[in-house]
Structure 1
Amino acid sequence: MQIIGVPSAPLFQTTAGMASLAIFPAIVVFFHILITIAQSYTNISLGSSISTNGPDSPWKSPSGEFAFGFLAVPGAGGYLLSIWFDKLPDKTVVWSANRDSPAPPGSKIQLFDDGRFELSDKRGRRIWAAGGIPSGAGVAYAAMLDTGNFVLARNDSTAAWQTFDSPTDTLLPAQALNRGDSLISRFSGENYSRGRFTFIMQDDGNLVLYTRNFPLYDVVSAYWSTQTVGTGSRLVFNESGYIYLTGRDGAVIFFLASNPVPADRFYQRLTLQYDGVLRHYFRPKSGGSGWSVNVYFPSNICLRILQSTGGGACGFNSLCSIGGDRNPNCACPEGYSLVNPSDKLGDCKPDFAPQSCNNSKESELYGFVEMVDTDWPLSDYAHFDPVSEEWCRQECLVDCFCAVAIYRESNCWKKKFPLSNGRIDATVGGKALIKIRKINGTRETMNPHR
């Protein structure tokens, strides 16, 4: 795929978040899709295979920048059939075939003589197969291209199947997201299985970030979009580093990234991270440690997600805040800890016994931890106005159902378990009065595993 007609501009010109179309007032870009593989490559012949065991090397692109093969999944005891940046020490993965089912030791990926491309375990049981290849497609060979695209090609070098048509959580330069296509975040930094967020180029033309009804696959709540219903058609990430949405006539109607990042000098990727933030990353090819972020969406996911079901940006009873690096952080309040210590975006549980509703005097065993600018919207079951803070405290203290009271501008909201959409932000105002059990007459001090 090649995108033509994109203007040049100074590297990293200043923008804030969403680029305004006013920067390019009269751009009309048309796309010329080259189905042929118009770059150098090394043929991977029919009958070739790679195994998780033995001396097999991954299939590399001509420049050596990308590799296709197996990577061990930490803690899973299996392997991910994937494509990664091979010249980087961290081997950043950009595509995977079996993200939900790590391949056991002894598994093999094979390009059969009849053009089938299948991953199977050591007993020959199929784990994954390249789908959508038409009957009689005439696959002649495979190739790992310098764009990061792995292709099953015909004799005339046209693509019968390619990884660019089935992205996982990442887009690369020269790649596009067509109507009906989506990215799905991984579950965590170390867990590549499908996670809690998805990015969809909808059939109606709108480009949308959604929370997912995890562990199912339907969407729950939209938290960012281009608002291009009826006009959007295709998201393009071109080789100059521009990322933009086009209309049906090919004209640019929305820029996600208007700061060019030259592909000959920088590695780059557009990734929907496990925290739900869509980021355009870049990294100098000449060296440097780690990825930098060009643009990201949304600017504050803690405030953007407000869903009637589900935990929100973080899990139930957890709190989301934006750090100095602009990344969202999830943390349990004092007296709470993660249900699953390895899932930092997950649910928090109280580390104390719940208040009994059968003994009115038991309220004396509980007290409050105060947190300013903190709230769990949509978790309230009672609201009082106008009242004093002391009245609000006492009302929550004697109510066995009350887990948290929010006091703000003479308003008192009582919250029930589980708490959802938790956020800490200066725009929230007021304070949260979090009820926890005392120890020896003092407030709860158990480690919250933040």
Structure 2
Amino acid sequence: MEFLRILVFIAFVLARSEAQQRQSNISLGSSLTPDENSTWLSNSGLYAFGFYKEGNGFSVGIFLAGIREKTVVWTANRDSPPVTSNATLVFTSEGSLVLQSREGNKYIGDSALSSSSASMMDSGNFVLYNSNGRIIWQSFDHPTDTLLPTQRLLAEKQLISSASESDHASGIFMLAMQSDGNLVQYPVKSTPLTSSNAYYASDTYGNGGNVSLVFDSDAHLYLMNSSGVNIRNITNKGYYRKDTIFLMRIDWDGLFRLYSFSLNVNTNWTAEWASSNDRCDPQGLCGLNGFCTLIDQEADCKCLPGFDFVDKGNWTAGCERNFIADSCGNNNKSLRYTMEELPNTSWEEDTYSVLEILDKESCIQACLDDCNCEAAFY
């Protein structure tokens, strides 16, 4: 009988714990607008689901509302343009989340879901439940560019960087948990997704199809196989500290980093760990006809001589000619080209032709003699 009482007590505690997690239930028929009642908060008030300012309009997502530096960790329909202030987010009587705006209606999650309630959890996870209290959709299963503690990046899932620090639309870099067990970073537009196009890899290929990237509750990042075995530490340790929150994000510059934020100190986010110490590693950071240099360990993109940035505020847009190039095959003997050397540059590994040339002067002359050559790497 005593054993039965213990079991009943444990069951009661678990049920109470779950009720506390879901105390801030969102019921059918609830709605949000950008101007009034704009978010649904978690119990602690740390996380919020709802509207946040994006450019000249508003987007819907999850962000840290309980700190000075509001930080977006998940974005719904991230490649749709921001909506105006007259938009409404409705948790319909049919159990769907619908963003209603002048541009039309957009579902958040699956339009076929028939939810009975929803919760913004203190973990940062937004959850939809059916009538039996079972989770039928959660934001943790559909990450954008960020992982939070207790969240996993499952096999065949990706994180895609944001376009910039202020624009949460999809950017140009990917962190992919591949079906071969390898965690790899690629430029989004690289085809095919092979090792030659990767700029980071965990070298864990061949470990099966159900390897996942785990962000543990103590802020430890590691790879776990289907048997629950840690097969590779991404970070060498956990970083847990009292009154500190953590997130892992693939940043707009292509590196993925582990960040901490102290709730007791009026500071900014601190990078505890990064996938590389070389900020020029991500392929495509400087775009077409651009190259990367390091200045005080910060990446700085420059254009090739004769080229200017397409968009000075967006390195990834690359560079375009600032003059009209005459053909070297037009027999104009007064037309002369020269080559300018660019020291200390980081250039992406796209080799189109390899010549057996012994010295730099011969390399220069070979390019000048070839009408199809515009640049050479010696």
TM-score range, shorter chain: 0.7 to 0.9
Assess if the C-alpha contact under 8 Å between 1:49 and 1:111 holds in 2.
yes
1:114 maps to amino acid:
E
Higher relative contact order (CA 8 A, sep 6+): 1
Deviation at 1:205, TM superposition (A): 2.2
Secondary structure of the structure 2 residue equivalent to 1:378: coil
Q: Which residue of 1 aligns with 2:46?
A: 65
Assess if the C-alpha contact under 8 Å between 2:253 and 2:282 holds in 1.
no
Assess if the C-alpha contact under 8 Å between 1:269 and 1:282 holds in 2.
yes
CA distance in 1, matches of 2:135, 2:247: 22
Deviates more, 1:233-242 or 1:316-325: 316-325
Q: Which residue of 2 aligns with 1:266?
A: 244
For 1:191-206, list aligned pairs within 5 A: 191-206=167-182
CA distance in 2, matches of 1:341, 1:304: 19
Q: Which residue of 1 aligns with 2:7?
A: none
Relative to 1, partners in 2 of residues 1:380 and 1:355: Cα closer, same or farther, differing over 3 Å? Answer: farther
CA distance in 2, matches of 1:96, 1:269: 15
CA distance in 1, matches of 2:40, 2:241: 22
Relative to 1, partners in 2 of residues 1:403 and 1:266: Cα closer, same or farther, differing over 3 Å? Answer: same
Assess if the C-alpha contact under 8 Å between 1:315 and 1:346 holds in 2.
yes
2:357 maps to amino acid:
D
Deviates more, 1:349-358 or 1:164-173: 349-358
Deviation at 1:301, TM superposition (A): 6.2
Secondary structure of the structure 2 residue equivalent to 1:80: strand
CA distance in 2, matches of 1:246, 1:38: 30
Deviates more, 1:170-179 or 1:346-355: 346-355
Q: Which runs of no fewer than 5 residues in structure 2 stay unpaired?
A: 1-16
Deviation at 1:190, TM superposition (A): 2.7
Relative to 1, partners in 2 of residues 1:224 and 1:394: Cα closer, same or farther, differing over 3 Å? Answer: closer
Assess if the C-alpha contact under 8 Å between 1:174 and 1:239 holds in 2.
yes
Q: Which residue of 1 aligns with 2:188?
A: 212
CA distance in 2, matches of 1:280, 1:205: 21
Secondary structure of the structure 1 residue equivalent to 2:333: helix
Q: Choose which of 257, 261, 268 in structure 2 pairs with 1:279.
A: 257
Q: Choose which of 93, 97, 100 in structure 1 pairs with 2:79.
A: 100
Secondary structure of the structure 1 residue equivalent to 2:372: coil
Deviation at 1:65, TM superposition (A): 1.3
Q: C-alpha offsets along residues 341-393 of structure 1, whole Å, 9 cap, x if unaligned?
A: 332222111212214321443443x444322233554355463522452x544
Q: Which residue of 1 aligns with 2:213?
A: 235
Secondary structure of the structure 2 residue equivalent to 1:64: coil
Deviation at 1:36, TM superposition (A): 5.7
CA distance in 1, matches of 2:180, 2:19: 31
Q: Does 1:118 align with 2:90?
A: no
CA distance in 2, matches of 1:399, 1:247: 52
1:121 maps to amino acid:
S
Q: Which residue of 2 aligns with 1:51?
A: 33
1:142 maps to amino acid:
A
Secondary structure of the structure 2 residue equivalent to 1:209: strand
Assess if the C-alpha contact under 8 Å between 1:209 and 1:223 holds in 2.
yes
Q: C-alpha offsets along residues 87-131 of structure 1, whole Å, 9 cap, x if unaligned?
A: 3344211001021002421222111122111212147x3223311
Q: C-alpha offsets along residues 193-250 of structure 1, whole Å, 9 cap, x if unaligned?
A: 2121222222232222222227xx9857333222223325222111111111112210
CA distance in 2, matches of 1:276, 1:328: 11
CA distance in 2, matches of 1:360, 1:210: 44
Deviation at 1:165, TM superposition (A): 1.1
Assess if the C-alpha contact under 8 Å between 1:319 and 1:331 holds in 2.
yes
CA distance in 2, matches of 1:328, 1:38: 46
Assess if the C-alpha contact under 8 Å between 1:201 and 1:235 holds in 2.
yes
Deviation at 1:67, TM superposition (A): 1.2
CA distance in 2, matches of 1:98, 1:304: 25
Q: Does 1:385 align with 2:357?
A: yes
Q: Which residue of 2 aligns with 1:291?
A: 269
Q: Does 1:346 align with 2:346?
A: no
Greater strand fraction, Structure 1 or Structure 2:
1
Assess if the C-alpha contact under 8 Å between 1:118 and 1:130 holds in 2.
no
Deviation at 1:273, TM superposition (A): 1.3
Q: C-alpha offsets along residues 18-38 of structure 1, whole Å, 9 cap, x if unaligned?
A: xxxxxxxxxxxxxxxxx9676
Structure 2 length normalisation: TM-score?
A: 0.83
Q: Does 1:162 align with 2:162?
A: no
Deviates more, 1:270-279 or 1:334-343: 334-343
Structure 1 length normalisation: TM-score?
A: 0.71
Secondary structure of the structure 2 residue equivalent to 1:404: coil
1:39 maps to amino acid:
Q
Q: Which residue of 1 aligns with 2:165?
A: 189
1:321 maps to amino acid:
T
Q: Does 1:86 align with 2:58?
A: no
CA distance in 2, matches of 1:48, 1:301: 45
2:28 maps to amino acid:
L
Q: Which residue of 2 aligns with 1:371?
A: 342
Deviation at 1:156, TM superposition (A): 5.1
- RMSD of Structure 2 on Structure 1 (CA): 2.9
Q: Choose which of 129, 146, 160 in structure 1 pairs with 2:108.
A: 129
Secondary structure of the structure 2 residue equivalent to 1:143: strand
CA distance in 2, matches of 1:113, 1:218: 44
CA distance in 2, matches of 1:314, 1:131: 36
